[in-house]
Amino acid sequence: MKNSKLLLFFSLLIIISCDYNKKKNSKDIVINESRNKFENKLNFPILKEKSKIAKEYCQSNELNTDYYFLIDLKRHSGLKRFYVWDFKKDTITYSFLVSHGCANNPWGEDISKDNPVISNQDGSHASSIGKFIIGKRGHSNWGIHVNYLLHGKDSTNSNALQRQIVLHSWEAISDQETYPLGTPEGWGCPAVSNSSMYVMDKMLKKSNENVLLWVIK
């Protein structure tokens, strides 16, 4: 009888302990999800400030003043962080996923999804930040077989042509956000999904002036 009571007591203790841990873990998951949502929330005021600087730059350099492209590498790669900003509407008209360079990590994985390596060095396989002028349209072996040369205009991306950094599409890039997973990483080119590239290619072919692509972190 005594042993039965002891067994019942320990069984109840285990059940209570498991229930407590389950509730605690659930609470931790909710807190972490809320924190992640807060950290990954789009910082629209910052984008508006960048657009003012970009517009002045486009006007000064006789670039397209209808829109420009902005990539925010500070944002998790599984979230949309390639923006088409309409200067006239003063807002984002399109947003896409975009890859960054894998650097010393394996090609095609997402190891640096929340903190990409930045480099202007040839052979680094990393992404560069700064202002690029989108140049000549050419043939690509990837995606929809279209790419655009990127002319780096800052000290942080001046080797873009030498490094063969181009804007292109890649079948591995999703149309939809993949967070908390990242976007597959390449060798430093900003690569987007095929459908995203179709949108941009149509815009770029219609433009009478070169378009600004600004990469920030």
Q: Domain boundaries in the chain?
A: 1-39, 44-216
Which 3 state secondary structure label does DSSP give 184? coil
Q: What is the pLDDT of residue 39?
A: 52
Q: What is the pLDDT of residue 19?
A: 52
Range 20-45 average pLDDT? 53
Q: What is the pLDDT of residue 41?
A: 79
Q: Is the pLDDT of residue 42 over 60?
A: yes
Range 25-50 average pLDDT? 62
Pair 107, 83: CB distance under 8 Å: no
Neighbours of 87 (CB within 10 A): 17
Q: What is the pLDDT of residue 16?
A: 47
Q: What is the pLDDT of residue 216?
A: 98
Residues 196-214 pLDDT 10s: 999 999 999 999 999 999 9
Instruction: Assign 3-class secondary structure to 128-144.
Output: CCEEEEEEEEEECCCCC
Q: Please state which of the four CATH numbers 3.30.70.20, 2.40.110.10, 1.10.375.10, 2.40.440.10 is assigned to the domain occupying 44-216.
A: 2.40.440.10
Q: What is the pLDDT of residue 40?
A: 65
Q: What is the pLDDT of residue 82?
A: 98
Q: What is the pLDDT of residue 4?
A: 52
Quote the distance between the C-alpha of residue 132 and its chain's center.
17
Supply the pTM of this predicted model.
0.83
Residues 10-28 pLDDT 10s: 454 444 455 545 444 444 4
Range 97-113 average pLDDT? 98
Range 104-126 average pLDDT? 98
* Most confident residue range from 13-17, 38-42, 43-47: 43-47
DSSP characters over 7-73: HHHHHHHHHHHHHHHHHHHHHHHHHHHHHHHHHTS--HHHHHHHHHHHHHHHHHTT--SSEEEEEET
Q: What is the pLDDT of residue 29?
A: 37
Cα-Cα-Cα-Cα torsion 70, 126, 120, 122, nearest 10 degrees, comes to -140
**Length of the chain measured in residues:** 217
Q: What is the pLDDT of residue 114?
A: 96
